[in-house]
A and B are shown apart, each in its own frame.
Chain A
Amino acid sequence: MDLGRGLDVADYSTVNRVVRWFINLRWIAAGGVLAALGVAVAFTRLELPFPVLFLLSGILACVNASYWLFFHVLRREQLAQGELAAFLSVQVAGDYLLLFFLIYFTGFLENPLVFFFVFHTLLTAYLFRTGTALVFAGGLVAVFAATVGAEYAGLIPHHALFPSADPAAYVLQLPLRGAGLAGTIAISAYLMTSIKRRIAEKGRRIEIELDRYKTLDRVKSNFLLQVTHELRGPLAAINGYHEMIARGITGESTPRTLETIGKASRRTDNLLTMIDEMIDFAYMTAELRPKLEAAPLAVAELIGETLDACSALADTKRMRVQTHCPPGLELRANRDLMRIILANLLTNSLKYSPEGSTVTITAGADGGEVCLMVKDEGIGIPPEELDRIFEEFYRTRRARELERDGTGLGLSILKKAVEDLGGRIAVTSEVDKGSSFFIYLPQDGPRTGGTTP
Chain B
Amino acid sequence: MRNKILIIDDDQDILETTGSILAYEGFEIHTADSVERGLELLDTVAPDIVLLDIMFPEKKTRGFDAASEIKAKQPNLPIIVLTAINREYAFDFTKSDIKADEFLNKPVRTRKLVEAIRRLIG
Give the interface of A toward B (CB within 8 A): 225-226, 229-230, 232-237, 239-241, 243-244, 247, 249, 272, 276, 279-280, 283, 289-290, 292-293, 308-309, 311-312, 335-336, 339
Contacts and interface: CB of A to CB of B under 8 A. Distances in A.
B58 interface: no
Contacts of A336: 87-89
Contact of A240 (B87, B94, B107): B107
A240 B18 contact: yes
B18 A279 contact: no
Contacts of A292: 89
A313 B24 CA distance: 24
15 contacts: A225-B87, A229-B86, A229-B90, A233-B11, A233-B55, A234-B13, A235-B107, A237-B11, A237-B13, A240-B13, A244-B17, A244-B21, A308-B109, A312-B109, A336-B87
Nearest to B112: A308
Interface of B: 11, 13-14, 16-18, 20-21, 24, 55, 60, 84-92, 94, 105-110, 112
Given A240-B21, A241-B13, A247-B24, A229 B84 contact: yes
Contact of B90 (A237, A240, A279): A279
B89 A290 contact: yes
A96 to B, nearest CB: 58
B17 A243 contact: yes
- Specify the main secondary structure of chain A where it touches its partner: helix
A247 B24 CA distance: 9
Contacts of B86: 229, 232, 276, 279
Contacts of B92: 290
Contacts of B94: 293
Contact of A226 (B14, B90, B109, B112): B90
Nearest to A272: B107
B21 to A, nearest CB: 6
Contacts of A237: 11, 13-14, 17
A240 B17 contact: yes
Contact of A241 (B17, B60, B84): B17
A244 B88 contact: no
Contact of B20 (A226, A233, A244, A279): A244
A234 B86 CA distance: 15
